Amino acid sequence: MTETIVITGAALNGADAADIVIEDGRIAEIGSGLSRSGARVVDAAGLIALPGLVDLHTHLREPGFEASETVLTGTRAAAAGGFTAVFAMPNTSPVADTAGVVEQELALGEAAGYATVQPIGAVTVGQKGERLAELGAMASSRAKVRVFSDDGFCVWDPLIMRRALEYVKSFDGVIAQHAQDPRLTEGAQMNEGTVSAELGLAGWPAVAEESIIARDILLAEHVGSRLHVCHLSTAGSVDLIRWAKKRGVAVTAEVTPHHLLLTDELVRGYDARYKVNPPLRREEDVLAVREGLADGTIDIVATDHAPHPSENKACEWQAAANGMVGLESALRVVHQSMVETGLLGWADVARVMSTAPAAIGRLEGFGSLEAGAPAHVTLYDPQVAGVFTEADLHGRSRNSPYLGRDLPGRVQWTIHGGRVTVADGILVDGLGE
């Protein structure tokens, strides 16, 4: 059941303040001096109203790896971070490479109630890179899959990649590539550079990412299909995407919050919270991806939320799993790295964290703050600040790189389809019951 809600005095995308009326799960009216008899009134003076955030790259782990995360716990984390929709990566067990598995994920998201879960289908059977998965069956299933990825593994075989790009054209799908040449990254433990040399750790060279991106750009241009580059992380990769867009190639790209803020210098402490794939890069790369996001070369911010149980991180560096949780902290990190630095305004944040990811994933009904649209709304307080702690985490895992770090802002309200999931900064319990 949804309720009538009147949001008063919110700055729409950081601009002029307005009132928003929500009725029957939709935005009924936007204006000034609005009211409704018996409505729940949310005083949003000083808050920024954004279209509900959309994450194109989330690992929910269910089915198969529930010790790390479940659809319920992951979408609770999403709501706490202001997200109203997440695209679930297919590296589950069984792998989401059939219509049955993606429909199961969709149903789990509907039952949880905290955010819309849009499954991503695997490109190849079992993510093994050997033969195409049931792309058409997943696209025509109730889940209406439009994004396909073997994330965690690169679709390394150029013929398989070409065939995948050709196949998804018929239903306007997109292949989201984990750009990593496996031969160039065997045994890699961190970014290849000065720090890896000093620490004696095997390096993950930038060319391992850039060479795959270059190849796939050419394949996508040849086929005339859509390509999306996951978690872009190097200055050279930004240059390649910029070149491709000038050529008119249908390529989009994402950057993670951690690649906008953190550098490989953090690895010096051997804290496995900072172990991630692709690895944290040099300061020069961080500045380049910030510039790429600011000038539109990089289209979106995506979290790559990757939960792990504590035993997979509380160990020596070489044995630790790659990945960081990031749903609860994403908007605050973008605020710090992009807004406080003057590189993005709040309307830009709405574009890169809501409108554009929904468009890339062909997710209807998201990314808009307009009368008549479904009521997916995030209300954010940019004035407060505080230390990010475990109390800010609402998923099952604790492997956040931001614990103990000062971050600006806080999500105060999240509304998903007219249903309040976060109220006054507190996650609403019991939605899936």
pLDDT in tens, 322-380: 999 999 999 999 999 999 999 999 999 999 999 999 999 999 999 999 999 999 999 99
8 A C-beta contact, residue 341 and residue 419: no
Residue 64 belongs to some domain of the structure? yes
Which range of residues forms the domain containing residue 196?
A: 52-360
CA distances from 227 to 49, 280, 422 (A): 31, 24, 34
The DSSP output letter for 185 is: G
Q: For residue 39, give every residue at least 6 positions away whose Cβ sits within 8 Å of its Cβ, in sequence order, or none.
A: 3, 4, 5, 6, 21
Rounded Cα distance between 212 and 210, Å, is 6
CATH code at position 311: 3.20.20.140
Residue 347 lies in a domain: yes
Question: Are the CB atoms for 378 and 414 separated by under 8 Å?
Answer: yes
State pLDDT tens for residues 84-107: 999 999 999 999 999 999 999 999
Nearest to 334 by CA among 351, 359, 313, 321: 351
Q: Which residue is listed with tokens 């790896």?
A: 65
Q: What is the mean pLDDT of the segment spanning 396-424?
A: 98
Say whether 222 counts as a known binding-site residue.
no
- CB contact set of 29 (below 8 Å; sequence gap of 6+): 19, 20, 21, 371
Alpha helices in 314-421 (DSSP H): 330-334, 346-350, 356-360
How far, rounded to the nearest angstrom, does the alpha carbon of residue 212 sit from its chain's CA centroid?
21
pLDDT of residue 433: 58
Percent of the chain whose pLDDT exceeds 70: 99
305 is in an annotated binding site: no
Asked whether residue 103 is assigned to any structural domain, the reply reads: yes
Instruction: Quote the strand ranges of 3-47, DSSP E.
Output: 5-12, 17-23, 26-31, 40-43
- C-alpha span between 277 and 321 (Å, rounded): 9
For residue 362, say whether it is annotated as part of any ligand binding site.
no
The answer on whether 258 is annotated among ligand-binding residues is no
The response to whether 228 counts as a known ligand-binding position is no
Average pLDDT over residues 164-180: 98
- How far does CA 333 lie from the centroid of its chain? 13
Write down the residue that tokens 């507190």 correspond to: 426
Question: Does position 303 have pLDDT exceeding 80, yes or no?
Answer: yes
Question: Of these residues, 19, 150, 299, 304, which one is catalytic?
Answer: 304
416 is in an annotated binding site: no
Q: 304: annotated binding-site residue?
A: yes
Report, as an integer, the average pLDDT of 379-404: 97
**Residue 431: what pLDDT?**
84
Largest CA distance in the chain: 67
CA–CA separation, 364 vs 373, rounded Å? 10
Identify whether 4 is part of a domain. Answer: no
Q: What is the pLDDT of residues 253-285, one digit of tens each?
A: 999 999 999 999 999 999 999 999 999 999 999
Concerning whether 381 is annotated as a catalytic residue, the answer is: no
Number of domains the chain contains: 1
Task: Look at the alpha carbons of 29, 31, 35, 41 in this order and tell me if their dihedral is positive or negative.
Answer: positive
- Report yes or no on 74 lying in a domain: yes
Tell me the C-alpha distance between 78 and 68, whole Å.
15
Q: Is 231 annotated as a binding residue?
A: yes
Residue 226 placed within a domain: yes
- Answer left, alpha or beta for residue 125, where phi above 0 means left and psi between -120 and 50 means alpha: beta
Q: Structure tokens of 155?
A: 């679709």
Instruction: Please compute Rg for the chain using Cα positions.
Output: 21
**What confidence score (pLDDT) does residue 264 get?**
98
28: in domain: no
Q: Could you give the angle at the alpha carbon of 213 between the alpha carbons of 209 and 215, nearest 5°? A: 120
In the block, residue with structure tokens 């872009």: 232
**What is the pLDDT, as a whole number, of residue 2?**
82
In a domain, 27, yes or no: no
